[in-house]
Structure 1
Amino acid sequence: MERSMLGITLRDRVSSQIIRQRTKIQDVERVAILKWSWAGHLARTTDERWTKRVLEWRPREEAYRSRGRPPTRWTDDIKRICPNWIQEAQQRDRWNELRKTYVQQWTRLVDR
């Protein structure tokens, strides 16, 4: 998103750190922490809110799928750290321990 804001393409070979200096985004880690916290909150909800239903929704198997790589889902990077993340989020202490690992991985992906 920052690259598109500045009109810089990957072919320009400008590093993400320089782009962050230009856009003045101060804390990319904060975004990762907020996403991790929100995921834990959603996993711990007990009632059937639409947010949790959308999170667990899977498309029909017989539906037509387009060619190419499947789109990345919101939970894909969370599942890389913790495949059974909904069960892990029930234990807040364990969930908070995993947050550091997630933030490190997420910021490493953003810096590419």
Structure 2
Amino acid sequence: MERSTLKLKPKYKRTNKDIRNTTKVNDVKRLLHHCKKLKWKWAGHVSRMDDDRWTKRITTWNGPLGKRSRGRPMERWLDEILKIAGKQLDRKEINRDKWRKMEEAFTQ
């Protein structure tokens, strides 16, 4: 994750310790927890949007149907959230307090 943040290509041989000094990230678990938390908050924000907003359309878009490549299907951005939220993601009446309680399950 840190290498992609710095846009480092594999040909640049840098140690993880050197990269962590550059990014000032010492605790990777805390970073991942923070990223998941932001993802969950964005999903809650999108779920409360009107259906005609472009942001919601693009976030929930599944893409064209047709032939897919071999192997395990790639997990979409929304799939991970739907595992925890389920059908509640589509409901408008879900309140923020309930959504925050589900956040703890998602970020662990």
Tell me the TM-score normalised to structure 1 length: 0.64
Q: What is the distance in 1 between the residues matched to 2:2 and 2:68?
A: 30
Indicate if the aligned counterparts of 1:88 and 1:94 stay in contact, CA closer than 8 A: no
What are the Cα deviations for residues 60-80 of structure 1, in whole angstroms up to 9, with x where unaligned? 44x122111111111121122
- Residue 31 (structure 1) aligns with: 35
What are the Cα deviations for residues 7-39 of structure 1, in whole angstroms up to 9, with x where unaligned? 89xxxxxxxxx8x96653253222111111110
Structure 1 alignment gaps of length 5 or more = 9-17, 105-112
**Aligned Cα root-mean-square deviation (Å):** 3.1
- Residue 69 (structure 2) aligns with: 66
Q: What is the distance in 2 between the residues matched to 1:7 and 1:24?
A: 20
Alignment equivalent of 2:103, drawn from 99, 104, 107:
99
Amino acid at match of 1:75: L
- Residue 83 (structure 2) aligns with: 80
Q: What is the distance in 1 between the residues matched to 2:107 and 2:64?
A: 32
Amino acid at match of 2:83: R
Greater RCO, 1 or 2 (C-alpha within 8 Å, sep 6+) = 1
Amino acid at match of 2:52: E
Task: Tell me the percent identity.
Answer: 40
Structure 2 alignment gaps of length 5 or more = 11-16
Q: What is the distance in 1 between the residues matched to 2:82 and 2:42?
A: 14
Amino acid at match of 1:97: K
Q: What is the distance in 1 between the residues matched to 2:89 and 2:51?
A: 14
**1:82 aligned counterpart, secondary structure:** helix
Where does structure 1 differ by over 6 angstroms across 4 or more consecutive aligned residues? Answer: 3-8
